[in-house]
Amino acid sequence: MRNDLTRRQLLAGAGAGALLARPAWSRAAAAPTGKVAVARCKTYGTELLPAMDKMFDQLGGLGGLVKGKTVAVKINLIGVRWQRLGNALMEDTFWTNPFAIGAAVHLMGKAGARRIRVVEGPWSTTESLQEVMFSMNWKPQDILNAADNVEFENTNYLGQGRKYSRFMVPGGGLIYPGYDLNHSYEDCDVFVSFAKMKEHAATGVTLSMKNVYGATPITIYGQDAGVDEPSIRPHGGRGNVFHFASRLPSKSAPQQKDMSLPKEAGFRLPRIIAELNSARPVHLAIIDGVKTATGCETNYGSPRMPQAAVNPGVLIAGTNAVATDAVAMSVMGFNPMADRGTPPFANADSMLHLAEDLGVGLRDLSRNEVLGVPISEVVFSYPAVREKLLAAQKKA
C-alpha cells in the first residue's frame, strides 16, 4: 500500500488500484450496466457490413438510438500520420478503418439518423478530416456518401462553431472539474466512440473510453495553446497539459482542481479519461479489432515494447463504454478487473475502475450482458504476441 498519499490525493482516488477499496465518493453502485455484442470479422470486405449490422441488432437495433437524431461519431486518427508500422497501412494498425467507418455510417443512415457528423482531432493540424484522409490515400467521399447528411469536423479547434462547449464532470471531477470541447460534442443527440483495439504506452489500453480523450482541442490543451484564451490554430500534442501538467490549459477553460496532484501520466491520464467519459458520455461504443497493432497506440515501439500488425478479426460494440472496453480487454487477453501493477495497467491506474467509481459503467463482465460470439472464441492474446516478439528479439 502506498503511504505517501495526501488526503487530497486519496480523495482524488490516487492509488485506487492498490487500495482496492472504493473511495467514499464512489458512485459505482449507481453505474449503469451495458449490453455488448461481439462479432467475428476477419476482413474489411463483404463480411464487414453484415457483421456490424448483426451486432447492432443484438444491442436492440440502431433505430431506437439514432432515428431522427444528430449523431457524432468520434473516430481515431491518432499520432503523426507519416509514421506507419512498417509498410502496414494506418487504417490496418492505428486508425479506425475507413471501410468500418463507412459501414457504421451507412447503418446509422439506414436506421434513420438525421445527420451524422464524423469527428476527430487529428495531430496538430487545421486540415479538414477529408484532407487528412486524402493524405492517407483514403476516399473520404465513400464515407460522405454512405448515408444522407454526413459531414466531417476537425475538433482540434473551434472549427465550424462560434464557441467551445463546456462539459462539467458530475460530482466535480478528479483532476479537472470540466472540459471545453468543440461544439460537435454538444451539437449531437447521440455520441458514438469508434475506436481501434490497441494497447497504450501510458494507459495500458486504448479503446472506446480512451478515444474520447482525443476530443479535447489542442487550441486549449495543446503544447502551444493560448495562455488566456484558446489559440486559433492547433499546434503540437496534449502531453504538456494532460500527461505531465508542465503547463496549464488556456485560462478560459476549467482549471486543474489541485496543483499538488502527481504529475505522472499513469496517474493523470486514466483520471482525465474517466472524467471525460463522465462529462461527455458515450451512447454507443464500437471497437475495430479486425486489423490492428499490438505494443502501443502508435508508432512508439521500442525493444521493450515491440509492435506487430495483427489481424484479431473481431468487432465489438456496446451501449456502455466501460462495459465495451471491459469486453475488449478480455478479447485482448487481459483481465478487465486488473488494477495498477497488473498488465495492462503495469504503470497506470485503471481507467475502467476510475470510470466505474464515477458511475459511468461497470467493468465486471458478469454484471453486463455480453452477446454474440463468446469471448473465449475470439480471444487474441496481446501478451502472447508480445512474448513471441520479445523471444524472437532475444534470439536475433
Partner 1 sequence: MALNAESIPMRWPAGPLDIARGEKTKGFTAETAEVLRNWQDPASLAVVQGTPVSCLVVSWAAGLPADAGQQQALKPLIEKGKQAGLEFVGLIEGEANKPAAVAAAQSAGLSAVAMEGDAPGSAAVPVIPWNKAAQVRSIANSPVLGISDGVWPGLPQAASQAGGPTNLPWVDSNGAVLLIARALAPDKTVWIDFDPPQQAALATEAYMLAVADPASHGARWVISLDDKLRADLTAGKQPAADTWKKAIDTLAFFEQHKQFRTYQPNGLLAVMSNFAGPNWEAGEEAINLLPRIRQPFRVMARSRAGGASFTGLQAIFYVDREPPDAELRKKLIAFASGGGILFVPSKWPNPEGSPAPAEPYLLFSMRAVGKGRLAVCKEDQPDAYDTVADIQNIMSHRNDLLRLYNAPSANFLYETSAQGGQGVIHLLNYSRRPGSDGPLFYVKEPHKSARLVSPEIASPAELQWAPQEAGGAELSLPRLSVYGAIELEK
Residue ranges that bind partner 1, judged by CB under 8 A? 80, 82-87, 123-128, 131-132, 134-135, 137-139, 157-158, 224, 232-233, 235-237, 301
Nearest residue (CB) to partner 1, 88 versus 358: 88
Nearest residue (CB) to partner 1, 57 versus 224: 224
CB of 225 to partner 1, least distance (A): 12
Nearest residue (CB) to partner 1, 119 versus 338: 119
CB of 132 to partner 1, least distance (A): 8
Nearest residue (CB) to partner 1, 68 versus 236: 236
Nearest residue (CB) to partner 1, 91 versus 275: 91
CB of 127 to partner 1, least distance (A): 5
How far is Cα 350 from Cα 369, in angstroms, rounded to an integer?
Answer: 21
Nearest residue (CB) to partner 1, 234 versus 318: 234
CB of 79 to partner 1, least distance (A): 8
CB of 131 to partner 1, least distance (A): 5
Nearest residue (CB) to partner 1, 58 versus 125: 125
CB of 287 to partner 1, least distance (A): 24
CB of 27 to partner 1, least distance (A): 38
CB of 99 to partner 1, least distance (A): 10
Nearest residue (CB) to partner 1, 126 versus 381: 126
> Is the backbone peptide bond immediately before 344 cis, with ω within 30 degrees of 0?
yes
Nearest residue (CB) to partner 1, 26 versus 219: 219
Please report, for residues 173, 180, 276, 287, the alpha-carbon distance to residue 95 in angstroms, rounded to integers and kept in the order given. 29, 24, 21, 11
**Cell 475502475 sits at which residue?**
353
CB of 294 to partner 1, least distance (A): 15
With helix as H, strand as E and coil as C, how does the chain read? CCCCCCHHHHHCCCCHHHHCCCCCCCCHHHCCCCEEEEEECCCCCCCHHHHHHHHHHHCCCCHHHHECCEEEEECCCCCCCCCCCCCCCHHHCCCCCHHHHHHHHHHHHHCCECEEEEEECCCCCCCCHHHHHHHCCCCHHHHHCCCCCEEEEECCCCCCCCCCEEEECHHHCCCCCEEEECHHHCCCCEEEEEEECEEECCCEEECHHHHHHCCCCHHHHCCCCCCCCCCCCCCCCCHHHHHCCCCCCCCCCCCCCCCCCCCCHHHHHHHHHHHHHHHCCCCEEEEEECCEEECCCCCCCECCECCEEECCCEEEEECCHHHHHHHHHHHCCCCCCCCCCCCCCCCCCCHHHHHHHCCCCCCCHHHCEEEECCHHHHCCCHHHHHHHHHHHHHHC
| Alpha-carbon torsion angle 107, 108, 110, 115, nearest 10 | -150
